[in-house]
């Protein structure tokens, strides 16, 4: 367990874990499997409502196996659970297993033996909250009364990367989180990128969902988000903003009230300080809200508890038995991922996938080839136990397999490639890498296995800084693809080719799909995005990719402009992702002096800013672009004219200060006259006439009439001229 201390120097020390709190003891649920119900307080087993005669130690053993959710549990772990110490004869554990199997009778196969290691639960169990006045199983549970009284929708289910494998390992971290559940309001999971912090947070949330009757919300903060506007993404994650105006932490706290909510926030380094300030104010004003943050460093707020997330346990020597190797979480994750990928290759899309119990059953020592286990231990030891590196390594291994190349040969080939790459980088093939270095090497190896066109598309996807829709990715890839003959058939072939390459990247794990959202939402894992963006710079393709992304975004925004933008349901999620893309494209185009693209983005995005209630940011963006255009070496009168029109329009629609709107329309009129553009002059005259009544009302003195007449008289003359 890592303990962080605050002081002049932020440092950490390591202390041993002494955690005895488990999920079943903390939440006190009733576990249901087949016809059985296992109650935890007191510990009791019933079959179809009839108590099962079995001893307390056998029940404790059953509770430990069910809690492991299909994971094999060692003899020592079972002994420690039953007797409180690991140094108990194996025969004593076997006696309790025999008693339990006798009590289960014809269902004795629910307790499966893992030869030479221990036992595992072979059934499928579900937990329900044990409440004295809970409704009957046949009755639907009523909605939470407070939420119903407030008229606020339940928070959406958490949006997380699609589960490619069952959850493996992290049982010590889960126990630590469960122990903090009743004492900590804010928990920060701290660790390097690629170590599984987000997966751990959502697995914890899944297990304690009954503690939060008002729901669980999740949000991944985009690096493009302004630090001063973090409250709205948090409110949208909890689906509160639609019923309340939540612009400040205090307003959001008032909307939350006494609701029991869990909020999971995936924070980037740039927003860490701002998020800490927002959460500190939010937690102070809400009695029942709890927050889990994933970050690379603590937030350093008063109510924070930090849990360090390191790599999975991996072998540290070469000589071991199969049972010993499979006891390491890193080896189990690699084998589990290989099992899932091989199963996907054998079955067609749409057929039923294996359950978690089936996958764990494949990890029994008598079902694993010794050579495969030896190679897995070699690979996991080299990679340092980083989960992302192991999952990508499994993809690279399966990519090498075919009918003529068995698993063991593919694993050996990958291990040799890994040693060769490590020798080139570090000078030694047997070096144990840090998790970050291990992930980087596997990404390079997997990248080298791709064909040239797929490699290029992975690089180009590096322009996305956060989540993005599949349509956005394909649109950008089509835009940057070499031009064809311009026919519809050629465009269809290009799009199909881009779709196929994207599917290949998804299958390799280099692109993740986010579940829980209506549209097909994707993202690059952090280390993969860093690799792709660095490759863009090295290949001198950043400008080309950013321009293609901006042009495809302009096309999508223009379509929204024609069809209208709706901020309801899945459509709202899509336009929020477009907003993140828009911020990134504007930043690049403005500071790279690509003014034509920047202005087109400003003009096409007006409805998006308004529907998200971000007119203030939109006005600030227009002024920034206008300042850069005005300061350019060459005079850009027409570009300035388009920006002044956008600024004047927005000031008028948002009912901003009339004198600012009038000044903007007058400036537009002057620039339109200089360009001899009658269309823009007509817009300027219409805007001035719209502002005129308000201006006249506030100009009752003689000093106020002169400016109004100076503006309106020439305009009215020009209006007649334009109309004529």
Indicate if the pLDDT at residue 142 is higher than 50.
no
Of residues 239 and 498, the one with the higher pLDDT is: 498
pLDDT in tens, 695-715: 444 444 444 434 444 444 555
Q: Taking the mean position of all CA atoms in its chain, how far away is CA 293? A: 12
Kindly state the average pLDDT of the residues 178-207: 89
Q: Which of 86-90, 300-304, 463-467 has the lowest mean pLDDT?
A: 86-90
Q: How many CB atoms lie within 10 A of CB 185?
A: 20
Question: 616 pLDDT exceeds 80?
Answer: yes
> What ranges do the domains of the chain cover?
29-129, 147-308, 322-449
Average pLDDT across the chain, whole number: 78
CATH fold group of domain 29-129: Arc Repressor Mutant, subunit A (1.10.10)
pLDDT band per the 50, 70, 90 thresholds, residue 723: very low
**Tens digits of per-residue pLDDT, 654-678?**
877 888 888 999 999 999 999 988 8
- Mapping DSSP onto H, E and C, the string for 277-341 reads HHHHHHHHHCCCCEEEEEECCCCCCCCEEEEECCCCCCCCCCCCCHHHHCCCHHHHHHHHHHHHH
E strand map for 444-600: 468-469, 512-515, 521-523
Kindly give, in sequence order, each residue whose CB lies less than 8 Å from that of residue 41, ignoring residues fewer than 6 positions away.
28, 130
Q: How confident is the model at residue 345 (pLDDT cuts 50, 70, 90)?
A: low
High-pLDDT (> 90) share of the chain, %: 22
Instruction: Supply the pLDDT for residue 164.
Output: 57
* Tokens coding 128: 């329900």
d(CA 63, CA 386): 30
Which of 157-166, 385-394, 639-648, 706-715 is least confident?
706-715
pLDDT at 285 over 50: yes
Residue 122 has pLDDT above 60, yes or no: yes
Confidence band, pLDDT 50/70/90 cuts, at residue 567: low
409-436: average pLDDT = 80
Q: What is the pLDDT of residue 515?
A: 66
Say yes or no to pLDDT of 521 above 90: no
Distances 252 to 232, 240, 721 between C-alpha atoms, Å: 9, 8, 53
pLDDT at 295: 93
Q: What is the pLDDT of residues 493-507, one digit of tens each?
A: 899 999 999 988 988
Residue % of the chain over a pLDDT of 70: 77
Higher pLDDT, 29 or 54: 54
What confidence score (pLDDT) does residue 189 get? 94
What length does the chain have?
724
Distances (CA, A) of 651 to 105, 506, 562, 664: 77, 44, 22, 9
Tens digits of residue pLDDT in 243-253: 456 778 998 99
Most confident among 126-140, 253-267, 504-518, 646-660 (mean pLDDT): 253-267
User: Among 262-276, 406-420, 497-511, 543-557, which is the least confidently predicted range?
Assistant: 406-420
Looking at residue 706, what is its pLDDT? Answer: 45
pLDDT at 462: 92
pLDDT-derived band at 564, boundaries 50, 70, 90: low
Q: Is 452 exposed, middle or buried (0-12, 13-18, 19+ CB in 10 A)?
A: exposed
CATH number for 147-308: choose from 3.40.50.300, 3.20.20.70, 3.30.300.30, 3.40.50.2000: 3.40.50.300
pLDDT tens-digit profile of 478-490?
998 887 767 788 8
Phi then psi dihedrals of residue 345, to 5 deg: -70, -30
- Cα separation, 402 vs 419, in Å, equals 23
Report the predicted TM-score, pTM, of the whole model to 2 decimal places: 0.69
Confidence (pLDDT) at 37: 84
Residue 474 — pLDDT band, cuts 50, 70, 90?
very high
What integer pLDDT is reported at residue 276 of this predicted model?
92
Average pLDDT rounded to a whole number, residues 163-179: 77
pLDDT at residue 348, as a whole number: 44
Residue 601's pLDDT is 94
Is pLDDT at 180 greater than 50 in this prediction? yes
Query: Among 161-165, 386-390, 536-540, 680-684, which stretch is predicted with the lowest mean pLDDT?
Result: 161-165
Q: Is the pLDDT of residue 261 over 70?
A: yes
Q: What is the pLDDT of residue 402?
A: 67
pLDDT of 281 > 90? The answer is yes
Residue 279 pLDDT exceeds 90 = yes
pLDDT band at 86; cut points 50, 70, 90:
low
> What are the angstrom distances between the C-alpha of 331 and each of 29, 416, 487?
31, 18, 51
pLDDT at res. 351 = 45
Pick the more confident residue, 294 or 416: 294
What would the mean pLDDT of 122-151 be, rounded to a whole number?
48
**C-alpha span between 35 and 20 (Å, rounded):** 29
């Amino acid at each position: 367990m890592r303990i962080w201390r605050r002081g002049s120097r932020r440092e950490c020390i390591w202390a041993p874990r002494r955690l005895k709190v488990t999920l079943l003891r903390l939440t006190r649920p009733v576990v249901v499997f087949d016809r059985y119900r296992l109650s935890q307080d007191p510990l009791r087993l019933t079959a179809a409502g009839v108590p099962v005669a079995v001893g307390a130690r056998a029940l404790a053993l059953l509770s430990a196996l069910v809690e492991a959710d299909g994971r094999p549990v060692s003899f020592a772990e079972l002994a420690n659970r039953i007797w409180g110490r690991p140094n108990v004869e194996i025969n004593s554990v076997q006696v309790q297993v025999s008693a339990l199997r006798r009590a289960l009778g014809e269902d004795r196969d629910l307790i499966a033996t893992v030869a030479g290691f221990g036992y595992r639960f072979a059934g499928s169990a579900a937990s329900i909250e044990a409440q004295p006045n809970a409704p009957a199983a046949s009755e639907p549970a009523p909605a939470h009364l407070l939420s119903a009284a407030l008229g606020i929708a339940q928070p959406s289910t958490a949006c997380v990367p699609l589960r490619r494998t069952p959850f493996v390992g992290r049982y010590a971290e889960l126990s630590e989180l469960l122990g903090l559940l009743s004492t900590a309001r804010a928990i920060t999971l701290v660790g390097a990128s690629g170590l599984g912090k987000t997966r751990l947070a959502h697995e914890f949330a899944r297990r304690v969902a009954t503690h939060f009757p008002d729901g669980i919300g999740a949000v991944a903060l985009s690096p493009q988000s302004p630090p001063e506007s973090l409250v709205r993404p948090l409110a949208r994650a909890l689906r509160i903003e639609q019923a309340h105006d939540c612009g400040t932490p205090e307003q959001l706290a008032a909307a939350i009230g006494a609701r029991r909510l869990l909020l999971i926030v995936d924070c980037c380094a740039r927003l860490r300080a701002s998020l800490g300030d927002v959460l500190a104010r939010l937690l102070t004003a809400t009695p029942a809200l709890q927050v889990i943050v994933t970050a690379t460093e603590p937030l350093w707020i008063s109510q924070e508890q930090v849990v360090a997330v390191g790599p999975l346990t991996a072998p540290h020597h070469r000589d071991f038995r199969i049972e010993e190797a499979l006891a390491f979480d890193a080896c189990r994750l690699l084998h589990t991922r290989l099992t899932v990928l091989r199963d996907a290759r054998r079955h067609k899309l749409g057929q039923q996938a294996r359950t978690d119990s089936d996958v764990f059953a494949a990890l029994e020592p008598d079902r694993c080839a010794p050579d495969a286990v030896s190679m897995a231990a070699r690979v996991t030891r080299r990679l340092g136990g980083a989960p992302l590196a192991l999952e990508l390594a499994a993809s690279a291994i399966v990519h090498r397999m075919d009918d003529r190349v068995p698993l063991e040969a593919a694993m050996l080939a990958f291990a040799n490639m890994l040693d060769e790459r490590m020798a080139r980088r570090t000078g030694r093939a047997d070096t144990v890498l840090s998790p970050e270095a291990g992930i980087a090497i596997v990404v390079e190896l997997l990248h080298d296995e791709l064909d040239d066109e797929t490699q290029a598309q992975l690089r180009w996807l590096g322009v996305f800084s956060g989540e993005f829709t599949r349509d956005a990715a394909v649109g950008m890839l089509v835009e940057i693809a070499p031009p064809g003959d311009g026919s519809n058939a050629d465009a269809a072939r290009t799009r199909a080719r881009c779709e196929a390459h994207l599917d290949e990247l998804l299958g390799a794990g280099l692109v993740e799909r986010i579940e829980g959202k209506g549209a097909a939402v994707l993202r690059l894992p952090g280390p993969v995005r860093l690799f792709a963006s660095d490759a863009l710079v090295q290949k001198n393709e950043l400008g080309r990719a950013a321009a293609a992304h901006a042009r495809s975004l302009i096309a999508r925004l223009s379509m929204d402009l024609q069809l209208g933008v709706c901020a309801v349901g899945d459509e709202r999620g899509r336009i929020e992702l477009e907003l993140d893309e828009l911020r990134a494209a504007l930043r690049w185009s403005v500071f790279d002096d690509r003014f034509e693209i920047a202005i087109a983005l400003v003009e096409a995005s007006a409805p998006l800013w308004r529907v998200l209630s971000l007119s203030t940011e939109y006005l600030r963006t227009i002024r920034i672009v206008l300042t850069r255009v005005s300061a350019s070496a060459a005079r850009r009168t027409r570009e300035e004219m388009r920006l002044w029109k956008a600024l004047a329009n927005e000031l008028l629609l948002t009912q901003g200060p009339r004198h600012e709107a009038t000044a903007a329309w007058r400036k537009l009129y002057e620039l339109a006259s200089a360009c001899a553009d009658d269309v823009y002059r007509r817009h300027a005259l219409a805007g001035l006439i719209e502002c005129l009544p308000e201006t006249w009302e506030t100009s009752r003195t003689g000093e106020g009439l002169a400016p109004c007449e100076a503006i309106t008289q020439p305009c009215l003359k020009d209006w007649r001229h334009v109309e004529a």
